[in-house]
Structure 1
Amino acid sequence: MSQHRSKGGSIKSRFIVIVLFSLLPFLLAVGSSTYVVYLLSADYLQTQMKSSTRTLHNLIGSLLRNSVRSYLRSKVEVGVDIVKEALREQGLADLPEEEWPVSLPPELEERLVNSLLSFHVGESGYYYGIRSDGTVFFHPDPKIAGSNQREREPVKEQLLLRNGYLEYRWRNSDEEEPKNKALYMAYIPELDWILSATSYREEFVHIIDLAALRRTINSVLIGKGGYSYVIDRAGTFIAHPYLYGKDARGYMPADEFSSILQRFYAEGEGIASYYWRTPSGNKRRLKIVNFKYIPDFDWIVATAFYWDEIGRPIHRIVFFNLLMAFLSSVVLFALVYRANTSIGRHLIRISEALERASAGDLSSRSAEGGPREIRELSKNVNRFLEELENKTGSLAASLEEKERLLQEIQHRVKNNLQMILSLINLQRNGVLTEEAVNALEKTHRRITGMAMVYDHLSRTREQMIGDRLSVRNFLEEYIAQIVSSHNSVSCNVVNRIDAVMFSRDLSIYCGMLVNELISAAIDSKAIGGQSVLIDTELCDEGENVRLTIKTDSAAFAEGDLPEEELVDVLSQQIHGTVHREVFDGGSRFEIRFPVGKAV
């Protein structure tokens, strides 16, 4: 026993280990709470950064969008005025709506189209017109003019809106890649025209309100020194709280600046860090930055803050929590060690008594001593061991007697069934009529099934679960026995039987049902001396079991079974649901029944 303690540790050391393990949740809670505070603080600042960057990004997009919208709208309004003036000259402006749309003289329409195509929209923009059926009736690209584009964007969207501003991606026939474009459109119902002015968004970068952008930049504050800025690919600050128009290279080494700027443009969006020299001195401090690329301007919009501004309070929280955790651990360990020392000796005695009992010596008892709680524990342990010793002896004797009686009963039942089979064999030898012989053979097969169940019980007792046995081996043996008893017919036997556990009674009823069905299948071909297919499947479906027997004759048709009434009775006994099917070349008998329901 001392050797066992030296290998596994003493009760005292185990108790200390248990206490230390019980202390782990406290330490984990302190560490987790500190870590959660750290994550929440960092997440909050990152959320602020992302929000500021996203707001600034959206603001720049809105400034560009508003500028483009206003410009294109003015161009479309000029075009509409030209068309309206032409309608007035032709006396078509005041026609009632019922007469819309009207057609202009070809010469006038051609003159209008040429006039619109001659106007400039931005640097490379243009006018174009479509009709409500999607036909592009004029366009500077001759490959598009005259074609129907109703299934292509943006024409598909224009046919739905007819008026207003729209952003889209477009590739002319002479361009390799689509680009970001914007258009403004107005519908002229008198002619069924949708007149549009369009240009590339990037051409309008120079007209956005940079003063409004800088005012927004100056209003963004994160912590004590956090701010937002906009920088271009050359490293010049487009907008910055105090470095507007300056080159960022003056505040960090050139190689580091090139590396971080390349990362901005390569990744397009994300979080990065770099060391930045403060304007008030030469000290370099770590900055965390959230950046986002603006493709229309080829700019980077970013929001940054100094890490030490949030790291300092978080470090204080971490240090304070760890200090409290350490002091609490020291105090708790001291208290536990003192308590363990005072009661460890008596706990070891109790443990030794339980170890001897677990080794099989139920007569072992613990010496009663120590504090009141320990004495009560010793008395309870001794009382428990005494009752356990008495109960274990009684249970062992009872189990042994029951096992003996059960084996005796099964043995006698098996012998009685064998005696009945012998009597049937004797009776069969003295019977002259074929009908009587057949009746005795059927009875013989039925009793054989019962005998096989009890024989299987005695041979597979170690594999049983309670009073249940695996039905697979039993059915395979029983089917072979049935087939061999009909030696005048050649049988093609196919078995697919799951390892399902059946009670003894369910096994008997199931075996008798299988016997009746297989015998009927074999007898259906006994006269012609033909071979017969016996395909048996027992499938586990959870709470139910499905038994299917298929043969290549019509033996299982409704009313054709020789023992129809017996089959119905057996099916009802096992609470089964029967389904029969006759098909070309054979028939099938299928029954579903519960496994756990008493028969």
Structure 2
Amino acid sequence: MFNLGDSRIRTKLYVAYAGAFLVIFLVAGGIIHAQVRNILRRNIENELAKTTEALRTMVRATVDVSIRNYMRAVSEKCLDEARYLHRQVKRGRLTEAEAKDRARRIFLSQTIGRTGRVYCLNSQGIMVVHHKRSLVGVDMSGLAFVREQVRRKEGYMTYEWKEPLEAGNRSKAVYMTYFEPWDWIISASSYREEFAQLVNVEDFRQRFFELRSGRSGYPYVLDYNGYLLIHPYLRGFHYRDYDSPGLGAVARRIVKERNGHFDYMWRNPGEQTLKKKVVYFKDIPELGWVVASSSYYQDFQQPLDAIGYVMLTALAVAVLLMIPVSFGIGALITRPIGKLQENFARAADGDFSVRMEQHSRDELGLMAGYFNSFMERLTAYSQDLESEIARRKQTEKELIAMDRAKTMFLASASHELRTPLTSIIGFLKLMEKHFRARFMPVLGPLDPVGLQARKFEKNLTIVQVEAERLGRLVNDLLDLSKIEAGRMEWRDRPLSVDRVLRRAAEASGALAEEKPGIELVVESLAEPMAVRADADKIHQVLINLLSNAFKNTDAGSVTLSAVRTEAGAYFSVCDTGRGISEDERERIFDIFYQGRDENSRSTHVFGTGLGLSICRKIVAHYGSRLVVDSVLGKGSCFRFSIPFAEGED
């Protein structure tokens, strides 16, 4: 049996020092471990709280922009319809009353969410279009928001509105465009509480998951009814559908409390064991959503385990080093060991500047050197890591700011340019109408003033054409920026190819009338076909190609056709025009590039130089490529394919 009293002094010193050091090390290690654990937990909780707030802010901002763009698109679509019908009136195809009646039917057929509608006021605040017939013709100028609409006529605004029999006001949003010829303020409106029905979460799903906490944490979104709208594993589930009552209780509690945080046990799909998590969540009342950010406790348990392993290793080394120094130098050992213990505690608290003094070259001196070398490397790694994190965060902020600035600039620029352009074009048309009606009839052909007046009339026409071209350039730039930024809305649905061709041919009738020497040929389909695409986008591509074909053809024909291929419906627009040289066949798809006319000295500009670039990007969205075959002096053929709708291939 071992008896310490009978042992040699070196054994007693070793056992005494070892026992004392063990107790001190374990107590200090336990305190350090507890402190580090609390610090890591607080840091993770703070990070989760900030991440949740950032997620809510991001979702709110994205939804607001998305809804504003959606309502603007509805309003501007109605404005385009009004302009088209007004042109029909000017061409004598419709009376103004018929055009306005057709416009009303089109506007009232538009819906925004569940109850959102389109209505129209005039500049006196009188309701001219509304789905409630009792309000048509009523003077609404007594309402504050109507007066604001009359004052602004265009743009986005919000206001409070109370329906009959409702207890209180509800927030509403409206986007307005102004059609001056009819004095109509076209307004697309919807309750803000219904915005959730208009939002496509896929628009910001990727950016949403980029804001995550910890290594294994992730964010998600629930609605007030308990459905998971965004989740990396359980999207579309209701909490009643979870395979565990405990997991359903977590979602039920989040939906019930809507703001706060708590700990819970969770098991991801495909995993066998439950693991402890913490979740912070905040609601977005106007959408009826709850944004949550969660993280596993194991994210900060691993650093604690690493600290424990380091401490155990250091303890073992210290105990072993006591054997050679236990012979008479116990007093000399206590001071360096105490210093080492203190430095470890400071390092564990995050002070990487601590260093040990090397008084000798023995084992303690070497240990001090190893500690200093380790701390220097740890400091360098920490500084590099902090620098890299700061640099990436700054870069991310700059990129987000640049993207936001670009989007705001394009939206603001397009709006600010469209407003004066609309006025300019309107006044030019009015000037031309009055000039021809009042001045030209009283001026004779030999009158010198008459010669100057005809020159003025010609210049007025040139200004009007260039103003309309500038308007098309603004619209093309906005479309191009939406496609490049990935914000273009794609409303894909099954489309009859025959109907697509007929619609494009009908829309190109005016082009054929302007050039009677050119025949528009629409080849009949060999068999019925249907594709899945956005009708407006495909129509935009075909109209652009047909317009270019007519512009570059003086005589002959323009042919529109579609045939069945393995890739889908293969569309073609061919002409017998001037053709395109081989070195230009790819350059014509570049932004702002306009082809040369090899057979003419004319400097006439045919367009903005954006149409073909936009067409190629639209076609690329459907996995195809817009290509051209051409022979100088004989004509050109533009071709692309669109995949079939489900069941067609």
Band of TM-score, shorter chain? 0.3 to 0.5
What TM-score do you get using the length of structure 2 for normalisation? 0.36
What TM-score do you get using the length of structure 1 for normalisation? 0.38
Report the structure number with the largest CA radius of gyration.
Answer: 1
